[in-house]
Amino acid sequence: MNLKLKSCEVRSWRSGDLESLVTYANNRNVWINLRDRFPHPYTARDGHAFLKHTREQQPETAFAIVANGDAVGGIGFQLQGDVERVSAEIGYWLGEPFWGRGIATDALRALTEFAIVTHGLTRVYAVPFASNLASCRVLEKAGYVLEGRLRRSAVKDGSIIDQLQYAFNP
Ligand SMILES: CC(C)(COP(=O)(O)OP(=O)(O)OC[C@H]1O[C@@H](n2cnc3c(N)ncnc32)[C@H](O)[C@@H]1OP(=O)(O)O)[C@@H](O)C(=O)NCCC(=O)NCCS
């Protein structure tokens, strides 16, 4: 898969992305806004295991965000099951040197559309931490609607936090 966008490309991960992946993923300022399944510190071993997983994924749901020719971030969705099989949760991260250039917004718009069209979805949703104002802004710019506040629903770095529920319906 390869989507060429204004500020970046969203494409399948490649084994050659390992060095760049580890460089940008190994950052506390990225990790602090993500689920704990995203490792910190982020080692070459973590990167290798992740890239192996993406190569074996069927269907493919995790993709690289490419800027200046390098994989500098990731974006992916999790297809839900049972009666929620028309829904998917989307998530994304970008290397800190690339923040503030509209890259995540471009990538989110494009992958939302890709997920809906490829999998016949009626809903794509995201659950950012309430403190993550940049991510909330990205979701709003991409047409996601705030549905509610999940009070004290998560623990991150030892603190109990609120999360926000955003959704896109085509
Ligand atoms: C969230 C993240 C993906 C944003 O990526 P990005 O490419 O910088 O996003 P964009 O440039 O497309 O848009 C960012 C918007 O947030 C705004 N913003 C940034 N910091 C902000 C803050 N502290 N308060 C309010 N708005 C803020 C920017 O001004 C911009 O909005 P604008 O275009 O109206 O000016 C990136 O910061 C990141 O990877 N963070 C760590 C991981 C993460 O949070 N992932 C999302 C988990 S839900």
What is the reported pLDDT for 92? Answer: 99
What is the reported pLDDT for 5? Answer: 98
Spell out, as residue ranges, where the chain has pLDDT lower than 50: none
Q: Is the peptide bond before 39 cis (omega within 30 degrees of 0)?
A: no
Ligand 1 touching residue 34 (CB < 6 A) = yes
Ligand 1 touching residue 105 (CB < 6 A) = yes
CA of 2 to the centre of ligand 1 (A): 23
Q: Show the CA angle centred on residue 159, arms to residues 154 and 164, nearest 5°.
A: 40
Query: Which ligand 1 atom sits closest to the C-alpha of 34?
Result: 47
What is the reported pLDDT for 72? Answer: 98
User: Which of 42, 99, 146, 163 should be mutated for ligand 1, with most atoms under 8 A from CB?
Assistant: 99
Q: Give the torsion through C-alpha atoms of 126, 129, 132, 133, to 10 deg.
A: 70
What is the reported pLDDT for 74? Answer: 98
Cβ–Cβ under 8 Å, residues 93 and 71: no
Cβ–Cβ under 8 Å, residues 40 and 31: yes
CA of 82 to the centre of ligand 1 (A): 33
What is the reported pLDDT for 66? Answer: 98
